[in-house]
Structure 1
């Protein structure tokens, strides 16, 4: 059975605690990083934790993934999102991988700062998976042994500046502005029996109360086991690192139809991107200062509930 953990600040100190029904049972010890916390606190031991509690309302949330960990992402990993991104899901035979700067990581209730020069700020709810094992050589990871590699799950919102990411072909830059990576509030730690539910979690994102994204991890194209297997053949992974598994359909980004893309291919670079910017400018779905974005991920039976992210969009201070 899964267990929910909160990383928080209370009376000037950063701590970790098991959270049950809005009450936090602090975990003894100091753990400066996600890796240190995971190594020192197996879920079986935390389940037995007891003692005085602190009301969740009395603490400040911190990200359960600390800034020293790797932030690895999958792109176009839900079938309908691939289609809305102008891709043919039956023709795309590769796993799109990229990274975000860890300096964009913030707590789940942090404001999202819209840089002054960014016109098209977009949202992307994602299921994040936190590693519990170092992977320093190529290996085959299967569904049967995935529990040996995944410690638990978090909510991630992969905020994106589309007018930087797309015209400049800069995934890293367009997705890495400070505050563009809220994580949490909770780290849901798994036991082996919980792993099957990774494939049946429901994701919902609203903006100002209106549903923009809603899907299930049933519809992931490349699952965690095959993705971690692929990454293991490229570079090292470490305990506490984060794999963000892609976003469903419903983003603000509008991709031109295949016919328009063929027409754009004959245009100059300047004319092509002018057309792109005009299309995006007509989209009211892009985020503006004052918007409230809420993200939720849970299983249908409620046994896994990663909490609620609430991010208020604010303009960059002049």
Structure 2
């Protein structure tokens, strides 16, 4: 089952995407649906207004998550290209709801007098579907609603102003999420999923890996994060990027206005964003 949040003439609507049709579920967005403990059956049985999939205007998957928790340094090849050592614990930092944008929306780059070091980071997003605190591995698996596509587009000089990542990671409107939530079937999420992941800039492949190469998989991340805070439905975990970022190249390569940034996770979906 695939779910999405779309823009309509009346605001946002949560839909179930069935082949060439999207069926309204009766909630304002995917986050609102996940707040219902019976969300799986509600979504699967919904029979609301229908939309042609080709006409959909996708909003960001969860417009107002309580938390967006991101992970740095979580693929071995990315750790190596940054010159860091493999971390003993997940490296976490936050984003905010205003950082998020739709899967096909234009992404505004900083003004030239602010920064010219915008960089790509293809990432697997994990969406929480039930509250969890101090989770065991089984509880962490059960809390996963599903998967989505994210690009943690990063403003590198702001990221490196101090030892704290956040200013370069939370730029407004910089983080495409969606277009769908690929719902995880209960009981099938105990292991790190194996999804090919890539990032393409103007047709050139810049990153190519597989999510099985994560140092800390979704279960590890939920266990760790839920130790210090309750994870709630609609929270988004952004699991880290593989090697191939522009900052680590010689010479360095950064994004420019007019380019198209495409983020692909095979079996999950694709974000495609023009940089403006």
What is the TM-score of this pair, normalised by structure 1?
0.80
Q: C-alpha distance in 1, partners of 2:27/2:233? A: 17
Structure 1 gap ranges (5+) = 256-278, 299-304
Find the counterpart in structure 1 of residue 18 from structure 2: 20
Q: Does 1:114 align with 2:102?
A: no
Return closer, same or farther for 1:233/1:194 CA change in 2, 3 Å cut-off.
closer
Q: C-alpha distance in 1, partners of 2:179/2:28? A: 17
Aligned runs of 1:106-255 on 2, under 5 Å?
106-116=101-111, 117-135=114-132, 137=133, 139-142=134-137, 144-195=138-189, 198-254=192-248
Q: Does 1:101 align with 2:96?
A: yes
Deviation of 1:13 after TM superposition, in Å, equals 3.1
Find the counterpart in structure 2 of residue 259 from structure 1: none
The structure carrying a bigger helix percent of its residues is 1
Return closer, same or farther for 1:191/1:44 CA change in 2, 3 Å cut-off.
farther
Return closer, same or farther for 1:226/1:219 CA change in 2, 3 Å cut-off.
same
Return closer, same or farther for 1:232/1:68 CA change in 2, 3 Å cut-off.
closer
Q: C-alpha distance in 1, partners of 2:191/2:20? A: 23
1:165–1:175 CA contact under 8 A, matched in 2 = yes
Q: Does 1:292 align with 2:254?
A: no
2:140–2:223 CA contact under 8 A, matched in 1 = no
What is the TM-score of this pair, normalised by structure 2?
0.91
Q: Does 1:39 align with 2:7?
A: no
Other structure's SS at 1:61 match? coil
Find the counterpart in structure 2 of residue 83 from structure 1: 80
Kindly report the root-mean-square deviation, in angstroms, between the aligned alpha carbons of the 2 structures.
Answer: 2.0
Q: C-alpha distance in 1, partners of 2:161/2:140? A: 37
Deviation of 1:64 after TM superposition, in Å, equals 1.4
